[in-house]
Structure 1
Amino acid sequence: MYVKKAVIALNNFAVTLPAPLASLANGNRYVKDAWASDAFADLNPDDAILFVGTGLTMADAVVALHQQGFQGQIHAVSRHGLMPQRHKPSKPH
């Protein structure tokens, strides 16, 4: 699988790359901060992208990609082999 960008979408804070992905750290194909305004600036509408993490950060980034007209392949893998999970219902405070 060839992807234009690899996004570590694990949470809202800076993360350390998992060992198998450490070689991406110095390249321009790795998005360190999925929340950065230029995180997906150089993607063509038909490129492919890989998300490591399948939670809300990934979901928010996919929505943002679609809003900017992205139509390429989106791959997402979970560190724990899980499908995206719903959050439990909660009452507002």
Structure 2
Amino acid sequence: MEIFFITHPHFNKHQSMPRFASMLVDGMQKRGHKVHVYYPKPYFFKLPLSAGFKKWLGYIDQYAIFPMQLQKKLRRNQQALLVFTDQALGPW
């Protein structure tokens, strides 16, 4: 089975959920599953602006850009299991 794990963006600097996702990935790989980890990349967040603006630009990366990128990946493999590694990722 092919599994896509969706995690928090690295630019949010969360610690517990990436560790949890890493445990899930390791466990599924040991069981022989093909595993991919996807997370929003910081395109707009990297712009040299104040922290207040960066927060909102990070939302654009997470909720506008990333879903389109993920949808493109899912079109190639419609049989993959999609796993969100945190309940707070619901808006995706």
| TM exceeding 0.5 | no
TM-score, structure 1 length as denominator? 0.34
TM-score, structure 2 length as denominator? 0.34
Instruction: Give the structure with the higher percent helix.
Output: 2
* Larger RCO of the pair (alpha carbons < 8 Å, separation 6+): 2
